[in-house]
C-alpha cells in the first residue's frame, strides 16, 4: 500500500517547480490532490495530464493572499473530495532588492503571498481537519529564513515567520490530531533558477558540501514523509533540505 492512500491533499503553488514535483509524488503515493495555483493555464494542463494517467486531481485557480478566495476553494475541495487531510503550503514569490533599494510594494507583495497566504490557507483548511481530528500541515520555509541572505529582507522575514507560525500551530493543534512542520530548502534547481547567470549558480554549488543544487523531487520526498502517518510523532520540526549548506 502506498503511503498516502485514501488521503486528500491541497498543494499550493502546485503547477510548477517544487509544487509540481510534490503533486506528482503525492498522486504516486495514492493521494487525491487539489492543485491551488495562480497560473491557470499551467495548472489546468498539469491536472488534465495527471487525470489522463488515472490519478485523482483537480485544479483550482487560487490567489492565496485573498482569504475569501481561499475559503471558497477549501469549501470546494471539501465538497468534491469529502475531506482534506493534508495541506502543503508551498506557494511563494520573491521580489529581491537590497534593503536600501527595496520598495514598500516589494515588501508587501512578498508578505502577502509568503506569510499572509500561508495564514489564509491554514485558516481555511483547519476547521475541516479539526472536525475529523486529523491533519498534516507542511509549510515551505527556506534556509534564508534560518540564516538570512543579502537582498532578501522581505523573503527572509516571511520564511522566518512561517517557522514561528509552524511552532505555534504545533502547540495549538497537536491535541486535535494535527501536526504542523516546516521544510527549509537550500538552493534548488527550478524554473526560477533558469534565469540566474551560470557564474552565480556555480557559486551556489560551491557553497553546499554536496557540490550541487538540489532537485524539486528531493524536497517533495520530504513533503511526502511529513504528510504520511510515518511522521505522526514529528510536530513543530524544521527540516533543512540543503545538501549541508548550513553546516
What b/e readout covers 9-24, taking b as 16+ CB neighbours within 10 angstroms? bbbbbbbbbbbbbbbb
Which residues, in sequence order, are CB contacts of 49 under 8 Å at separation 6+?
A: none
Q: In this structure, is the dihedral angle defined by the CA atoms of residues 151, 155, 158 and 161, taken in order, positive or negative?
A: negative
At 90-136, the pLDDT tens digits run: 999 999 999 999 999 999 999 999 999 999 999 999 999 999 999 99
- Give the number of residues written for the chain: 247
pLDDT of residue 190: 85
Task: Burial-class residue 84 by CB neighbours within 10 Å (0-12, 13-18, 19+).
Answer: buried
3-state secondary structure of 138: strand
At 135-178, the pLDDT tens digits run: 999 999 999 999 998 999 999 999 999 999 999 999 999 999 99
Return the percentage of the chain with pLDDT > 70, whole number. Answer: 99
Q: What is the pTM of this model?
A: 0.95
H helices of the chain, in order, are 17-28, 40-52, 67-81, 104-111, 117-132, 143-147, 153-173, 198-207, 216-227
Residue 59 pLDDT level (bands cut at 50, 70, 90): very high
* pLDDT at residue 234 greater than cutoff 90: yes
pLDDT of residue 106: 98
Query: Catalytic one among 55, 134, 155, 223?
Result: 155
* pLDDT at residue 63 greater than cutoff 80: yes
155 classed as catalytic: yes
**Main-chain dihedrals φ then ψ at residue 243, nearest 5 degrees:** 65, 20
Residue with cell 551556489: 204
3-state secondary structure of 193: helix
Question: How far is Cα 213 from Cα 192, in angstroms, rounded to an integer?
Answer: 13
* pLDDT at residue 194 greater than cutoff 80: no
Average pLDDT over residues 179-185: 97
**Angle in degrees, 0-180, between the axes of helices 17-28 and 216-227, rounded to the nearest 10:** 50
- Give DSSP secondary structure letters for 19-48: HHHHHHHHHHTT-EEEEEES-HHHHHHHHH
pLDDT of residue 208: 85
Mean pLDDT of the chain: 95
Whether the Cβ atoms of residue 56 and residue 82 lie closer than 8 Å to each other: no
Average pLDDT over residues 10-17: 97
pLDDT of residue 201: 76
Q: Which domains does the chain have, with CATH numbers?
A: 8-241 (3.40.50.720)
* pLDDT at residue 1 greater than cutoff 70: no
Question: How far is Cα 239 from Cα 30, in angstroms, rounded to an integer?
Answer: 24
Amino acid at each position: 500500500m502506498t503511503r498516502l492512500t485514501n488521503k486528500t491533499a491541497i498543494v499550493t503553488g502546485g503547477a510548477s517547480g517544487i509544487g509540481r514535483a510534490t503533486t506528482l509524488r503525492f498522486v504516486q503515493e495514492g493521494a487525491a490532490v487539489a492543485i491551488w495555483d495562480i497560473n491557470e493555464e499551467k495548472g489546468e494542463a498539469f491536472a488534465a495530464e495527471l487525470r489522463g494517467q488515472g490519478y485523482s486531481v483537480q485544479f483550482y485557480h487560487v490567489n492565496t493572499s485573498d482569504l475569501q478566495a481561499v475559503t471558497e476553494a477549501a469549501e470546494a475541495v471539501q465538497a468534491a473530495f469529502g475531506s482534506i487531510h493534508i495541506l502543503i503550503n508551498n506557494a511563494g514569490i520573491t521580489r529581491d532588492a537590497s534593503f536600501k533599494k527595496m520598495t514598500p510594494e516589494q515588501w508587501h507583495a512578498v508578505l502577502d503571498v509568503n506569510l499572509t497566504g500561508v495564514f489564509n490557507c491554514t485558516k481555511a483548511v483547519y476547521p475541516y481537519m479539526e472536525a475529523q481530528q486529523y491533519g498534516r500541515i507542511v509549510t515551505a520555509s527556506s534556509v534564508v529564513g534560518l540564516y538570512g541572505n543579502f537582498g532578501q529582507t522581505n523573503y527572509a522575514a516571511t520564511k522566518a515567520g512561517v517557522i514561528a507560525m509552524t511552532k505555534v500551530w504545533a502547540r495549538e493543534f497537536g491535541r486535535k490530531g494535527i501536526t504542523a512542520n516546516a521544510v527549509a530548502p537550500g538552493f534548488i534547481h527550478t524554473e526560477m533558477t533558469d534565469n540566474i547567470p551560470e557564474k552565480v549558480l556555480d557559486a551556489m554549488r560551491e557553497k553546499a558540501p554536496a557540490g550541487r543544487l538540489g532537485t524539486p523531487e528531493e524536497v517533495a520526498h520530504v513533503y511526502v514523509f511529513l504528510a504520511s502517518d510515518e511522521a505522526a510523532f514529528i510536530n513543530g520540526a524544521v527540516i533543512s533540505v540543503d545538501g549541508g549548506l548550513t553546516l
